[in-house]
């Protein structure tokens, strides 16, 4: 069934470096600096934080993508030259704050990746929860060749997906992975043909949006923290989260629907 997006209203409509559109429970947030390969400058990062902290009430999932030929070529280096050390720390922390609102926000985020997913663009992508790559996508961390270090949370998030040694190789040697390699090493969960990323991402976002909100919230907030705990502590927190989720009225209704044969069973696609 076709789905129609309409431009966001209110403050979200005033974000000039983002295109924000709503379709039912899915909000589409699109990076909108195509002439700069969607390089991330201070204003764009600020606008991302604003968008993810002012989601419309009806939003149950976000689709994140980039306008033009690339998802994002990373940090806009033109803004980096004049910063001193103290200013650079504050700048990095501003990225951390913005991307925290994506990873640990109110709803799941599906990122659609194509073209360059490089440096800060990769740091942004891995803050999302599900990543769909078109075959044109490629991944790199050129900070080592630029004389700098990642500052948008990459050193905390990327090794959890691919391992510290692989990330070190990318930074030290400039190694670039293509879409299929990115899937193999864990940077993404899906690869589709060029031009099909949006439809696949939207399909996933719409499916995610039908889940019980509390269950989605638990996956976003409890799961990554449990994974970082010792086993005993993690299992205890899991028990607490399972009890909270199962006690939610939405969960009770869904379980009742399954027991009454009104909900589908798990099957192989």
Question: Which residues carry out catalysis?
Answer: 123, 143
160 burial level (CB within 10 Å; 0-12, 13-18, 19+) = middle
Residues with Cβ within 8 Å of 136's Cβ and at least 6 positions away in sequence, in order, are 114, 115, 179, 194
Is the CB of residue 27 less than 8 Å from the CB of residue 206? Answer: no
Between CA 27 and CA 34, with CA 33 as vertex, the angle to 5 degrees is: 100
Tokens 């269950």, located at residue = 215
Report CA 131 to chain centroid distance, whole Å.
Answer: 7
Neighbours of 85 (CB within 10 A): 6
């Amino acid at each position: 069934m076709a789905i129609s997006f309409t431009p966001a209203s209110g403050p979200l409509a005033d974000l000039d470096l983002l295109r924000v559109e709503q379709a039912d429970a899915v909000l589409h947030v699109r990076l909108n600096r195509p002439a700069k390969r969607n390089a991330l400058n201070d204003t764009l990062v600020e606008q991302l934080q604003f968008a993810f902290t002012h989601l419309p009430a009806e939003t149950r999932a976000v689709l994140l993508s980039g306008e033009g030929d690339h998802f994002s070529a990373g940090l806009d280096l033109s803004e980096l030259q004049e910063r001193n050390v103290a200013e650079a720390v504050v700048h990095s922390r501003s990225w951390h704050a913005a991307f925290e609102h994506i990873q640990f926000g109110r709803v799941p985020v599906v990122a659609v990746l194509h073209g360059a997913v490089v440096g800060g663009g990769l740091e942004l992508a891995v803050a999302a929860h599900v990543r769909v790559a078109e075959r044109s996508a490629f991944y790199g961390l050129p900070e080592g060749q630029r004389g700098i270090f990642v500052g948008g949370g990459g050193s905390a998030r990327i090794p959890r997906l691919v391992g510290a040694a692989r990330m070190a190789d990318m930074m030290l040697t400039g190694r670039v992975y293509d879409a299929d390699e990115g899937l193999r090493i864990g940077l993404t969960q899906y690869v589709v043909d060029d031009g099909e990323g949006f439809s696949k991402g939207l399909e996933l976002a719409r499916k995610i949006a039908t889940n019980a909100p509390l269950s989605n919230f638990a996956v976003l907030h409890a799961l990554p923290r449990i994974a970082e705990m010792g086993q005993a502590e993690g299992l205890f927190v899991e028990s607490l989260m399972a009890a909270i989720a199962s006690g939610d009225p939405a969960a009770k209704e869904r379980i009742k629907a399954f027991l009454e044969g009104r909900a589908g069973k798990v099957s192989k696609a």
